[in-house]
Each structure stands twice: as structure tokens, then as C-alpha cells.
Structure 1
Amino acid sequence: MTTSAHDALIQLMLVAASSDSAVTERELLRIQGLIERLPVFHGFDKSRLPEVANSCAELLHGEDGLDRVIDNALAALPRKLEDTAYALAVEVTAVDLRLEQEELRYLEMLRDKLSLDRLTTAAIEVAARARHRQMPS
């Protein structure tokens, strides 16, 4: 089965959520919310989400799973959606308000495979931190 651009974006978000080995409810809710709210997901059949998630899990558990998921996803994405893909991955990892080492490593791997300059990725990361910041207590 050919990976669609929608599937690719969702798979990259799912890997971001699972990169620290603990997918939280907040991460899953964020993924669902992004799919429902963002224009890039217009036309995606939400009933396919379990199918996309299962396909991603199968790839991850295969040989060179993480690299295969990322490579397949990026091959399915138009170049103009690479910044969107990175922004979505950052958004999912930032929802817990702290990044584990594994999440940072995943973002680094994704960054290395994208055609984005360092200034763009830094801006995406700063914007995500700003969106998730809480009032000081």
C-alpha cells in the first residue's frame, strides 16, 4: 500500500509520541486535535486513524523500523510539507512540557532527513515552547 501524505504526517506524529516509550493520553489527544483542526488534514478520513496507526506500528517493529517509517513518510510528502511534518512532530513531543532524551533524538533524526535549514527548525521549536508555556506559579 502506498503511503499518502496524510498517513505520512500522522505516522511521524505517532512516532514522536512513542519515541520515549510512553504514549500519553495528552499526546494522543493532541494528535487527534491536530487532525481535526488543521487544514493540512482536510479530506483525511478519520475512521482510518487505527489503520494508519497499525501500519506505523508494523513498520516500527520490523527491521530498521524507525528509519523505514521516517524514510517512507518523507518519500510520501511533498517537499513543501516538510516544515509542517517537523512542526507536527515537535508539537506532539512538546505537549508533555518536557522532552525526554529519546524524543530529542527522534527530532534530531527527523531534522537530519529533512531539507530544512537550522533556522527554520529552531523557529518551529521556539514557537512550540511558547504555545505550551504555562503561567509561573
Structure 2
Amino acid sequence: MSLSPQDALVYLMVVTSAADTDMTAPELDRIAGLVERLPVFEGYDRLQLSEIAGQCVEAMSRVDDLEQILDEVLDALPERLHDTAYALAVEVAAVDLDLGQEELRWLEMIRDRLKLDRLTTAAIEVAARARLRKA
């Protein structure tokens, strides 16, 4: 299956949500909110979101290794969206401000595969924590 860049970003967010084996309502709400408001999704048919998310969940059930899905995502993403992809993954993972080892390992895998420098990824991570912190 060939993914559009926006579909690939949705896949990445869905897999990030499922990385700890628990897709929570706040994570799914965050995905929908990001698709609704971010410029990278301008022109994207938001009605497709549940269909694409469902396809991703189905794909996860068929593969033994999530790296196969990551390969498909990376094939669909132009390099100029690599930092955006990582930022979206971090945003979904950090929703509850409690990242487990599975989520941390998944983010590390994404970071390594996207070949983003450590300064960029650290800035993305700090910004997400600052945005999501509660009083």
C-alpha cells in the first residue's frame, strides 16, 4: 500500500499511541486535534482519519516488527517532514506526561531512523513537555 505523506504521519501517531499497548482516549483525541489544526494536514480529508487509523491498527496486527511499518512511513515522508514527524510522535507520546520504556524506545527508533540531530530532537521534546505540563 502506498501512503500519502499525511497518511504516513497519521500512521506514525497511531503506532506511537499503541507503542505501550494502550491506545488511550487522550492520545486519540490529540491525534484528531493535530490533524484538525496543523498546516501539514491542510487539504487532508479529515473524514479519512478513522479509516487510515484503522488500516494502521490492522497493519500492526499483521506484522511481527513495527520497524516494517516505520519503513512504510519513512518511504512516504519527504525529508523536509522528518522533524514534523518526530514532533507529532512526541506530542502523542507525551500527552499523559508519563512515558514508559516502550514509548521511549519507539521514539528512539524514530529519532534514529529519521537521522535527526540530538539538538533538534531535544528541542522538540522539551517544547512538548512545556506545552502539555499542567499547573
Name the Cα RMSD after superposition: 1.0
Q: Return the offset for 1:65.
A: 3.8
When structure 1 is superposed on structure 2, of 26-35 and 46-55 the one drifting more is: 46-55
Deviates more, 1:57-66 or 1:118-127: 57-66
Q: Give the partner amino acid of 1:92.
A: V
2:26 corresponds to which residue? 26
Report deviation, 1:49: 1.3
Percent identity over the alignment is 59
Deviation, structure 1 residue 25: 0.7
* Structure 1 residue aligned with 2:134: 134
Q: Which runs of 5+ in 1 are unaligned?
A: none
- Aligned-pair CA distance for 1:102: 0.7
What TM-score results when the alignment is normalised by the length of structure 2?
0.95
TM-score by length of 1: 0.94
**Structure 2 residue ranges without an equivalent (≥5):** none
Please report how far the alpha carbon of residue 64 of structure 1 lies from its aligned counterpart in structure 2 after TM superposition.
Answer: 3.6
Corresponding residue for residue 97 of structure 1: 97
Q: How does 1:1-80 map to 2 (within 5 A)?
A: 1-80=1-80
- Give deviations 1:76-111, integer Å, cap 9, x for gaps: 001000000000000001111111111101101111
Contact kept in structure 2, 1:17 and 1:23, CA below 8 Å: yes
- Distance in 2 (alpha carbons) for counterparts of 1:117 and 1:41: 25
Partners of 1:117 and 1:100 in 2: how far apart? 23
What amino acid maps onto 1:62 in structure 2?
R
Moved more, 50-59 or 104-113: 50-59
1: CA distance between counterparts of 2:57 and 2:32? Answer: 17
Residue 125 of structure 1 and its aligned partner are, at CA, apart by 0.4
Question: CA-to-partner distance for each residue in 1:44-96, whole Å, 9 max, x for gaps?
Answer: 11111122112212221223441111111011001000000000000001111
Deviation for aligned residue 1:132: 1.0
Deviation at 1:2, TM superposition (A): 1.2
Aligned residue number for residue 86 of structure 2: 86
